[in-house]
A and B are shown apart, each in its own frame.
Chain A
């Protein structure tokens, strides 16, 4: 079972307590955007086999949205961080690079 630590309330929440929100750090486009930009925001996904950054909601706990870094190929969890982060925190990136030397970094 997938277990994530909620960065807000500190609870170690297992999957049944969480709602998934899929890819994090999407660039948001709205009215006035080109069809290509809107498609990239709404549908085109990185869907990587390896390191992935995701949105999760502590739905049956404090209710907050947060972000998590996970390996989709091994189900290893690297860490969680607040939803207000425009990009993954530097210490988390360093931790992932240490564990996955071949990883190309967050793009």
Chain B
């Protein structure tokens, strides 16, 4: 792999950019691999990357139905934060956030990580108490967060209306090291690094069945033929239920649509990420100047990658109240992604009833921020066959044992 650098740009500028290589190869599938990962989104590619980097396992294929990064990796609102209440969540999201800090150097690919800070608005007294509690919990977990006053919120985000009639801003949970990154670049950077290690990324290759013998997976049927494997990782977000069914087990997952939208580009007006969970909307400004906006999920199972219009309406109504200047903006694009929601709103990084098959899913509405930490933990699980400290609490057996990681109720977080 030819490294990207300022010298490479200068060299190519002098020869009409004729020397850039393909970022990743487009190989034909081998007959068998040491490990197959289904799903070339951020989580799948990160899993493959850390399998190679941390454990030296490089005879790996990452299989993707569409194109890499074309699912939820390319559909999220790119927010990165780790201000969670429960210890297992804070540990894995903080690992992910810290890996984002060095990702561009590590992958030699600019993922445009921008630690601009994230404010979660407290707009009810319940939220004030909840976020004060979270700030104390984060202090114990080693995650830097702070409960800030209304005046400080206004100072950080001057375009905000802090005394709205319904939900005045009473304070906020501030994570200065949170921020955003370029979501596509995260997938592309991992893909390039994986390809460089000799891994095969098989795009336009749909898994249609999982073949097993004696309680162990031996390979997968795909639209490009049968491929054998010693280990299988299922990392497919919205379609986890279908893949689990192929492998012969059932998950505590419901697939629902989550929508986002962006406005026309405008001059810089907001250099932090703001989340307003009571009214359910969150917003940041992209480097192109678009306001990137996300809202709530639909309340029913849906695989269509489009959601109900009234949810968009609710989100915008709430945001216009909080940011009155938005009322004059035109919205450019709106889209949906299929998110995999678990019963306790926390993910699964887990062994499965099939001995050599592992699953990473259930990130629901908040998977992007977790990508490097999730890949790190999943790679350890696949390489050793047992979960490491980051993944241990996220086993799917927790629903049988009653060990929930109850984020949605405990902290009222939007993921």
Would you call B300 and A20 a contact (CB within 8 A)?
yes
Q: How far is the CB of B286 from chain A (nearest CB, A)?
A: 29
Q: Which of B250, B251, B254 makes the CB contact (< 8 A) with A22?
A: B254
Chain B residues within 8 Å of A40, by CB: 250
Decide yes or no whether A84 CB sits under 8 A from chain B: no
Chain A residues within 8 Å of B251, by CB: 44-45, 47
**Per-residue B-contact encoding for A12-23, CB less than 8 Å = 1, 0 else:** 000110011011
Decide yes or no whether B310 CB sits under 8 A from chain A: yes
Would you call A2 and B399 a contact (CB within 8 A)?
no
Would you call B302 and A75 a contact (CB within 8 A)?
yes
Would you call B304 and A22 a contact (CB within 8 A)?
no
Chain A residues within 8 Å of B299, by CB: 19-20
Q: How far is the CB of B364 from chain A (nearest CB, A)?
A: 13
**Per-residue A-contact encoding for B26-42, CB less than 8 Å = 1, 0 else:** 00000000000000000
Would you call B252 and A44 a contact (CB within 8 A)?
yes
Chain B residues within 8 Å of A54, by CB: 300-301
Would you call B400 and A36 a contact (CB within 8 A)?
yes
Decide yes or no whether B309 CB sits under 8 A from chain A: yes
Decide yes or no whether B239 CB sits under 8 A from chain A: yes
Decide yes or no whether B323 CB sits under 8 A from chain A: no
The count of A-to-B residue pairs whose CB atoms sit within 8 angstroms is 69
Q: How far is the CA of A74 from the CA of B400 in the complex (A)?
A: 33
Chain A residues within 8 Å of B401, by CB: 35
Q: How far is the CA of A75 from the CA of B256 in the complex (A)?
A: 12
Count of B residues near A, CB < 8 Å? 23
Given A35-B400, A45-B254, the answer on whether A52 and B310 have CB atoms closer than 8 Å is no
Given A1-B309, A44-B251, the answer on whether A74 and B304 have CB atoms closer than 8 Å is yes
Chain B residues within 8 Å of A47, by CB: 241, 251, 253-255, 301
Q: How far is the CB of A77 from chain B (nearest CB, A)?
A: 11
Given A45-B252, A47-B241, A73-B303, the answer on whether A1 and B310 have CB atoms closer than 8 Å is yes
Chain B residues within 8 Å of A43, by CB: 252, 342-343, 399
**Per-residue B-contact encoding for A30-65, CB less than 8 Å = 1, 0 else:** 000001101110111111110010100000000000
Decide yes or no whether B242 CB sits under 8 A from chain A: yes
Would you call B250 and A46 a contact (CB within 8 A)?
yes
Bin chain A's interface residue count.
20 to 34
Q: Which of B227-268 contact A (CB under 8 A)?
A: 239, 241-242, 250-255
Q: How far is the CB of B39 from chain A (nearest CB, A)?
A: 16
Chain A residues within 8 Å of B302, by CB: 72, 75
Would you call A73 and B254 a contact (CB within 8 A)?
no
Would you call B250 and A45 a contact (CB within 8 A)?
yes
Q: How far is the CA of A40 from the CA of B304 in the complex (A)?
A: 26
Decide yes or no whether B308 CB sits under 8 A from chain A: yes
Q: How far is the CA of A18 from the CA of B242 in the complex (A)?
A: 28
15 A-B residue pairings within 8 Å (CB atoms):
A15-B308, A19-B299, A35-B401, A39-B400, A40-B250, A42-B399, A44-B250, A46-B250, A47-B251, A47-B254, A47-B255, A49-B241, A49-B242, A72-B300, A73-B303
Contacts beyond the supplied A1-B308, A73-B304: 15 A-B pairs with Cβ under 8 Å: A1-B309, A2-B300, A2-B308, A16-B310, A22-B301, A35-B401, A42-B343, A43-B342, A44-B250, A47-B254, A47-B255, A49-B255, A54-B301, A72-B303, A73-B303
